[in-house]
Chains A and B, each alone.
Chain A
Amino acid sequence: MKSNIFLNSKDVFLDVVNHKDYVQLDRVSTIYQSLKDSVKKPLKMILLYGRPGTGKSMFLTKLYNDLSSLQKVYLYQTPILDESEFYKKLAQDLFQEEHTNELNFTQFMAILNQHVIDEIPLVLLDEAQLYSNPLMEKIRLLSDTRKIKFVITLHKTEKEDLIAKEHFQTRIWESIELENASNAELKIYIQKKLMKANCFDSANMFQNKNINLIYKITNGNYRDTNKLLYTLFDIYAWYEQNNPSKISLNQVSNKIIEMSAIHTGLLDA
């Protein structure tokens, strides 16, 4: 029965992008609201950027699920790197037109101009840093027609900063940055996530010193925290099964946190 607690808790931290797993934190909620407001504005493009693991994909998925019942919204989680395939996919989704032959930018623009658009569709592009520079430039030109609105996510690294500067900085659009959680936010995130899955016992095991250590190791990165806690509960489940006297159920052991960090590569042993 006890090991079930740990196994359930472990599953809570599986690295899966699911809008149901979205944890409402004050700052994150404010950012999400501003993103929703930006979508309503007559902006051509909206940039969502941040370091890997700050919840960009989760934001986009949540936005897609929240807006899909209200307006035309299309989510491309995996980048379509081939230019022709990208236009074909857009033509199919936006205008229900299937093209078997190659489709270039000019042809797609012609298709776009043929259609009278009552409601501007919203296209959500995840991992946009993987798109080539020429394709990104064409996406920008498509947004200039004001017939398609794009929300794109970018990793914030030095290289991506350059891309952002070169292509979009001069354009009028909204850019929203996502950041790692603070120490207090991380505690709320972990506990809310566990309590959402009815893992109240394991949620109560986390003390401030544990959170401090987790924050020190992960620097508040959500993905790293998920990875770390997934392994932590995996180790707890192992101890519960093989050597239960070695663990306390009242408090998370910093030793096991460090062991998890070593296993996940967050600490160099």
Chain B
Amino acid sequence: MLNVIELENRWKTYKIKSFIPHAIITASVLLITAISYSFLQPKEETVVADQPPSEQTALSKTIKAPVQTQSEPKVETPAVHEVKEVPVVIQPLKQDTPVQYTLQENKKDIYTEEKIKLTPSLSFINEMNSNIPYYQSSETSQEKSDDQNVYQSQKQELEDEAVQEKSIEQVQEVKAVKIERKNTQDDILQVIERFKKSNDPALSLFVAKKYYELGDYHKSYNYALITNELNNNIEASWIIFAKSLVKLNEKEMALKTLRQYIEHSGSNQAKLLLDEIRNGKFK
């Protein structure tokens, strides 16, 4: 049998339970927004946190001061005691003006303090600038101390500087070459990988040319040979092949290969290279 009353109670608890996550979510969202809002305005808070004590103290001081100054004459002058409303009206007016004035003064103080806080960065720049004349002054002091060997030391310094500049240039040049080699070698390796996948003679020819440019004639010979095996009608490949042979001190082999290729194709470039090798123009 149904116990509807108990079921209603269970439904109420279910509803409460189902509202709990919503309540938690809304509360957490509110909390997060409050925290994020407080984090988003940290400067204002710090300023407010800094200002109130100074302002409050300033205010308290300034308020106290006119009150005292005003109250003193009030005590002294009996006419003021008779009319009570008059000083009450005057007091706020008199209080306002000094308060505003002091606030402005305080603000000015704060701004001047902030400006002072900014000065370290300027001094840092000044220090940076001051470094250059420091070395110059040290050099001059050295020169002054060594009066006798002025010319010799100057010459030596000039020579040292020249040597250093040269060495730096050389190092830079070497580094630059290395970087280029790495890049080209990486490129070559990538092309080799592509070639292994595709067996495209255009890729192996590219590798052969690159290796020839880099002076690795063994590899350029190998890749030119592979290219010729894949396609024996590529003129550039035969030329790189012959050139690599010459570079590997296989002049006769190169001549023989070129002759055979010229017979087969009648290539003008191959003929030119053959003549250059014969004449000794290409070594």
Say what secondary structure dominates the interface of chain B: helix
Chain B residues positioned under 8 Å from A231 (CB to CB): 2
B2 and A269 contacting across the interface, CB-CB below 8 Å = no
Chain A residues positioned under 8 Å from B14 (CB to CB): 258, 262, 267-269
- B10 at interface (Cβ–Cβ under 8 A)? yes
B2 and A234 contacting across the interface, CB-CB below 8 Å = yes
Taken together as a complex, chains A and B put the C-alpha atoms of A235 and B3 apart, in Å, by 9
For B1-29 the 0/1 string (1 means CB < 8 A from A) is 01010011011011101000000000000
Interface residues of A in 210-256 (CB under 8 A from B): 231, 234-235, 238-239, 242, 255
Tell which of A255, A263, A267 touches B2, judged by Cβ atoms closer than 8 Å: A263
Taken together as a complex, chains A and B put the C-alpha atoms of A238 and B7 apart, in Å, by 12
Say what secondary structure dominates the interface of chain A: helix
| Total A residues in contact with B, Cβ cutoff 8 Å | 14
A262 and B11 contacting across the interface, CB-CB below 8 Å = yes
Interface residues of B in 8-66 (CB under 8 A from A): 8, 10-11, 13-15, 17
Chain A residues positioned under 8 Å from B13 (CB to CB): 269
A56 to nearest B CB, angstroms?
A: 30
- A188 at interface (Cβ–Cβ under 8 A)? no
B208 to nearest A CB, angstroms?
A: 55
Taken together as a complex, chains A and B put the C-alpha atoms of A262 and B14 apart, in Å, by 9
Chain B residues positioned under 8 Å from A267 (CB to CB): 14
B8 to nearest A CB, angstroms?
A: 7
Which of B7, B8, B15 is packed against the most chain A CB atoms within 10 Å? Answer: B7
Taken together as a complex, chains A and B put the C-alpha atoms of A44 and B15 apart, in Å, by 53
Q: Say whether, besides A234-B2, A235-B2, A238-B2, A259 and B17 are in contact (CB < 8 Å).
A: no
Tell which of A234, A235, A262 touches B10, judged by Cβ atoms closer than 8 Å: A262
Q: For B7, give the chain A residue with the smallest CB separation.
A: A259
Q: For B4, give the chain A residue with the smallest CB separation.
A: A238
A sample of 20 inter-chain contacts (CB < 8 A) reads: A231-B2, A234-B2, A235-B2, A235-B7, A239-B4, A242-B4, A255-B11, A259-B7, A259-B8, A259-B10, A259-B11, A262-B7, A262-B10, A263-B2, A263-B7, A267-B14, A268-B14, A269-B10, A269-B14, A269-B17
